[in-house]
């Protein structure tokens, strides 16, 4: 698909999303669902093709890829929302497991983009844990799952290379730390640190206004996942660079040349 065609499709999708947004004022569910699908399809097409080559086209998708990607997607969609419910005491035992589909009432036009992040959603009730999966978390979860699977495959490939050539395993440590750092952003470490410290000094009620503020909500729910995407992308890029090199007899790494 050339650039002109891609841009045309993106524009059509965004216009369609706005039309369905207007429809949602009269038909909340169907309008919200169509608006979210077209909006996030446009965002998907905005992502450079090189990214998808890195996480999909150039990766040998073995068992490790699918297992890590699947587990993370499940965590991100199901457990991520329940994590915050549990952290702030929103746990109530309900003796059933069910899924509820709902849609948000469309807000005024200035809040159009925010509306698209949560136009529709699935609420999962899991024996006392309540978790919401909205378009934004599902979209970012998919992107992060692809990144995680690709990173894990590249680390395993680097491990095999290092082991075969009997080099130091420290070459594998940093990329592994990068993967852990990238995925842990979505655990909202700032929240855990603040709550832990506050509990230790008996000042939990003093920090609750901070945790409940709109600014902090935007940080942990919207910005931190984007930070994870950035970290894992950089980590994968560096892994690809390392794997394009080979070890020589002097324990150095030199670029591989085509014969």
137 and 84 Cβ atoms separated by less than 8 Å: no
* Cα angle for residues 86, 89, 94 (degrees, 5° grid): 70
Residue 103 lies in a domain: no
pLDDT tens column, 224-257:
788 888 888 988 888 888 787 754 444 444 444 4
| CA dihedral sign, ordered 126, 149, 232, 157 | positive
| Residue 247 and residue 165 in contact, taking contact as beta carbons nearer than 8 Å | yes
The verdict on residue 234 lying in a domain is yes
State residue 44 phi and psi, 5-degree precision: -60, -40
Q: Do the domain assignments include residue 89?
A: no
Total of domains in the chain: 1
Which residues 6+ apart lie within 8 Å of 97 measured at CB?
Answer: 124, 125, 126, 127
Query: Residue 6 is encoded by which pair of tokens?
Result: 């891609």
Q: Are 35 and 20 in contact (CB under 8 A)?
A: yes
Over residues 205-217, the pLDDT tens digits come to 454 555 555 676 6
Q: 26 in a domain, yes or no?
A: no
The verdict on residue 1 lying in a domain is no
What's the rounded Cα separation, in Å, for the pair 62 and 72?
A: 16
Residue 239 lies in a domain: yes
Nearest to 239 by CA among 173, 163, 183, 167: 173
Question: At residue 132, does pLDDT exceed 50?
Answer: yes
**Residue range 152-172: mean pLDDT, rounded:** 71
Torsion angle in degrees (nearest 10) through CA of 228, 231, 235, 236: 50
Q: Given pLDDT bands bounded at 50, 70 and 90, which one contains residue 111?
A: very high
Q: What is the pLDDT of residues 177-196, one digit of tens each?
A: 555 555 555 544 444 444 44
The residue range of the domain holding 162 is 134-259
How many residues would you count in the chain?
Answer: 259
Residue 198 lies in a domain: yes
pLDDT at 29: 95
Q: Does residue 206 form part of some domain?
A: yes
Torsion of CA 104, 86, 228, 160, to 10 degrees: -130
Q: Is 164 helix (H, G, I), strand (E, B) or coil?
A: helix
Give the tens place of pLDDT for each residue, 192-209: 444 444 444 444 445 455
Other CB atoms within 10 Å distance of the CB of residue 166: 7
């Amino acid at each position: 698909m050339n650039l002109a065609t891609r841009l045309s499709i993106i524009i059509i999708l965004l216009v369609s999303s706005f039309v369905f947004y207007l429809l949602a004022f009269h038909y909340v569910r169907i309008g919200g669902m169509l608006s979210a699908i077209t909006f996030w399809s446009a965002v998907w097409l905005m992502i450079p093709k090189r990214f998808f080559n890195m996480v999909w086209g150039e990766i040998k998708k073995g068992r490790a890829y699918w297992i890590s990607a699947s587990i993370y997607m499940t965590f991100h969609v199901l457990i991520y929302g329940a994590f915050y419910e549990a952290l702030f005491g929103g746990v109530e035992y309900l003796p059933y497991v069910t899924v509820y589909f709902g849609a948000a009432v469309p807000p005024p036009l200035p809040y159009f983009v925010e509306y698209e992040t949560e136009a529709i959603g699935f609420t999962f009730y899991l024996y006392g844990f309540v978790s919401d999966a909205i378009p934004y978390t599902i979209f970012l979860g998919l992107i992060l799952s692809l990144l995680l699977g690709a990173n894990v495959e590249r680390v395993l490939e680097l491990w095999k290379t290092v082991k075969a050539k009997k080099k130091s395993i420290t070459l594998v440590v940093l990329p592994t730390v990068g993967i852990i750092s990238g995925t842990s952003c979505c655990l909202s470490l700032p929240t855990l640190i603040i709550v832990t410290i506050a509990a230790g000094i008996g000042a939990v009620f003093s920090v609750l206004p901070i945790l409940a503020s709109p600014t902090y909500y935007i940080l942990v729910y919207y910005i931190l996942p984007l930070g994870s995407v950035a970290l894992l992308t950089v980590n994968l890029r560096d892994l690809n660079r390392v794997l394009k090199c080979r070890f020589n007899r002097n324990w150095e790494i030199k670029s591989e040349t085509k014969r």
